[in-house]
Amino acid sequence: MGIVRRKISLARLDHSLMTAPRHDVLCIGNAIVDVIARAEEDFLAAESLIKGSMMLVDTDRAEYLYSKMGAAIESSGGSAGNTAAGIGSFGGKVAYFGKVAADHLGKIFSHDIRAVGVDFATAPLEGGAPTARCMIVVTPDGERTMSTYLGACVALSPADIDADVVAGAAITYMEGYLWDPPAAKEAFRQAAKIAHGAGRKVAITLSDSFCVDRYRDEFLELMRSGQVDIVFANETELHALYQTADFDTAIAALRADVGIGFVTLGSKGAMVVAGDETVEVPVRPVERVVDTTGAGDLFAAGALFGLARGLDYETCCELGGLAAGEIISHVGARPDVKLIDLARERGFEI
Return the CATH number at 222: 3.40.1190.20
Question: Is 341 inside any structural domain?
Answer: yes
Question: Is 93 inside any structural domain?
Answer: yes
Residues 177 and 207: beta-carbon distance below 8 Å: yes
d(Cα 192, Cα 216) in Å, to the nearest integer? 19
The pLDDT score that the predictor gives to residue 13 is 52
The pLDDT score that the predictor gives to residue 56 is 87
Question: Is 117 inside any structural domain?
Answer: no
Report the amino acid identity of residue 258.
V
The pLDDT score that the predictor gives to residue 2 is 35
Q: Which domain holds residue 300?
A: 11-29+79-104+152-345
- Calculate helix-pair angle for 295-308, 313-327, nearest 10 degrees: 150
The pLDDT score that the predictor gives to residue 18 is 55
The pLDDT score that the predictor gives to residue 11 is 39
d(Cα 65, Cα 113) in Å, to the nearest integer? 24
Closest CA to 160 of 200, 120, 202: 120
The pLDDT score that the predictor gives to residue 288 is 75
The pLDDT score that the predictor gives to residue 198 is 97
Report the amino acid identity of residue 345.
E
The pLDDT score that the predictor gives to residue 291 is 64
d(Cα 65, Cα 77) in Å, to the nearest integer? 18
Question: Is 309 inside any structural domain?
Answer: yes
* Strand 270-274 with 277-281, pairing: antiparallel
The pLDDT score that the predictor gives to residue 31 is 95
Residues 197 and 224: beta-carbon distance below 8 Å: no
The pLDDT score that the predictor gives to residue 3 is 34
Question: Is 113 inside any structural domain?
Answer: no
- Count of the separate structural domains present in the chain: 1
Closest CA to 113 of 103, 125, 100: 100
Tens-digit pLDDT string for the chain (350 aa): 333 333 333 434 554 445 789 999 999 999 999 888 999 999 999 999 999 887 889 989 998 998 999 888 888 888 999 999 999 999 999 999 999 999 989 999 999 999 999 999 999 999 999 999 989 898 998 888 989 999 999 999 999 999 999 999 999 999 998 898 899 999 999 999 999 999 999 999 999 898 999 999 999 999 999 999 999 999 999 999 999 999 999 999 999 999 999 999 988 899 999 999 999 999 777 777 776 767 899 999 999 999 999 999 999 999 999 999 898 777 667 788 899 999 999 999 88
Where would I find the beta strands (DSSP E) of the chain? 23-28, 32-38, 54-56, 73-77, 94-97, 118-120, 132-138, 144-149, 169-175, 201-205, 230-234, 260-264, 270-274, 277-281
**pTM of structure:** 0.87
The pLDDT score that the predictor gives to residue 197 is 97
Closest CA to 257 of 240, 278, 274, 234: 274
d(Cα 234, Cα 5) in Å, to the nearest integer? 20
Residues 340 and 86: beta-carbon distance below 8 Å: no
Q: How many CB atoms lie within 10 A of CB 252?
A: 15
Question: Is 331 inside any structural domain?
Answer: yes
